[in-house]
Structure 1
Amino acid sequence: MRRIPYRFEKSEASWSAVRSQGAGGQNVNKVATAVRLVFDIRASSLPERIKQRLLALRDRRISSEGVIAIKSEVHRTQEQNLEDALERLSALVEEASLVPEPRIPTRPTKASRVRRRRAKAARSAIKQSRRRVTDF
């Protein structure tokens, strides 16, 4: 795997605090300050190849307009939730920047060459038998 070089600017992602309660309003003491991180792929300074790969990724966090929305609502401080969301966003960009190496074509193995030769001989034998039937 090789990586497409890029510079990920965390300042391009905007975030907002969302108040979140757990368990349908119960446990009032466990109210967490959730963070919703929004990153516009098309408006970012990422290379065009990474933008295309991000848009092609099958991820429910990426909308059809090219906006990534990540919500982090673990019961922690707002700063920790923001760091968690930024880490998940950078992991998503990292995944899009990895490109598999092209496969190097190899020579056919001896077994596959023998198998191919036998199949070819069988096909030609069938053709010969068909010709003999119509030769009278």
Structure 2
Amino acid sequence: MTEIPEAELSWRFSRSSGPGGQGVNTTDSRVELSFDIANSQALTDVQRERALERLAHRLVDGVLTIAAQEFRSQLRNREAARTRLEATLRDAIAPPAKKRRPTKPSKGQVERRLENKKRRSDVKRLRRDVS
């Protein structure tokens, strides 16, 4: 994936809940990072289609929004939001995994499995109360 240009990112800041003491009431440390996937020039057409399809449940009008408020510092929340956005996009635009080619168990494996089942059955049969 290519680097996302800063011009395509939209940042919003607000007051955060959580740790920070009295500073929580005065600093805008909560970060919302928005990225317009539908209109992005950084993604190829194939990547855009994959991202829109796979992230459909998280998008509002083709825009992905990531919120971060776990740190007291706005700078660290910005870094956390950017990291999460990159990870989310990387997963969304990854090519699909190769299909598994079904295989049959070998004759030896089948025989060993059946032999183990028979042995186990015998053990349980011998444990039964015969009275």
TM-score between the two structures when normalised by the length of structure 1: 0.61
In the TM superposition, residue 62 of structure 1 has moved relative to its aligned partner by 2.0
SS at match of 1:39: strand
Pairing partner for 1:29 from 22, 29, 51: 22
Q: CA RMSD in A?
A: 2.7
Other-structure match for 2:4: 9
Percentage of pairs with the same residue: 29
Number of residue pairs matched? 102
TM-score between the two structures when normalised by the length of structure 2: 0.63
Q: Give 1 or 2 for the bigger CA radius of gyration.
A: 1
Alpha-carbon distance in structure 2 between the residues aligned to 1:60 and 1:104 = 27
SS at match of 1:15: strand
Contact 1:17 1:36 in 2 (8 A): yes
Alpha-carbon distance in structure 2 between the residues aligned to 1:98 and 1:92 = 10
* Inter-CA distance 16–104: structure 2 relative to 1 (3 Å threshold): closer
User: Higher RCO, 1 or 2 (CA under 8 Å, sep at least 6)?
Assistant: 1
Q: Residues 77-92 of structure 1 correspond to what in structure 2 (within 5 A)?
A: 77-92=73-88
* Inter-CA distance 110–80: structure 2 relative to 1 (3 Å threshold): closer
Structure 2 unpaired stretches of 5+: 108-131
In the TM superposition, residue 78 of structure 1 has moved relative to its aligned partner by 0.6
Contact 2:55 2:92 in 1 (8 A): no
Q: 2:53 is aligned with what amino acid?
A: A
SS at match of 1:20: coil
